[in-house]
Amino acid sequence: MRAKAPWRIGLGARAHKAGHAAEWLAAAWLMAKGYQVLGFRLKSRAGEIDLLARRGGVLAVVEVKRRATLDQALTALSETQKARLLAAGRAVARNRPSLKTLSLRLDMVALAPGRFPRHVRGLSQDTLRRS
């Protein structure tokens, strides 16, 4: 195995910390908008959910993207990732009886240095209510 260049060591840890900080900032932004944050970094077989939040009858699976610009953050989520995140949201909701009657929605919070967060609602929506 090839050794990492000295300037590359620690970049993964730095990115991990930056991602974690971005998730906390996004959670604070959502709470200020009236959402109840139910969980951070929830894992299921379908994937990992950055934030799970609720407001009214909506359960939002929230993907947090932090990039150099808001435009880069807003375009960083593929259709495959969207489908995987909705599947992960369904899996988490199935295991929590209190969430089964809520509509599931995929949201994103885009972050960039020096800019206010942007909350994009309804990237994809599971229109079938679970009973």
108 is a domain residue: yes
CATH number for position 33: 3.40.1350.10
1 is a domain residue: no
The secondary structure of residue 97, as a DSSP letter, is G
Supply the range of the domain harboring residue 60. 6-126
58 is a domain residue: yes
pLDDT mean over 44-56:
94
**How many independent structural domains does the chain possess?**
1
How far lies 103's CA from each of 48, 57, 67, 106, 122, in Å?
19, 6, 29, 10, 11
131 is a domain residue: no
Q: Give residue 131's pLDDT.
A: 30
21 is a domain residue: yes
Task: State CA 37 to chain mean position distance.
Answer: 11
Over residues 2-43, the pLDDT tens digits come to: 565 555 556 677 766 777 789 999 999 999 999 999 999 999
Tokens of 94: 């199935």
117 is a domain residue: yes
Q: Give residue 100's pLDDT.
A: 86
Q: Give residue 108's pLDDT.
A: 96
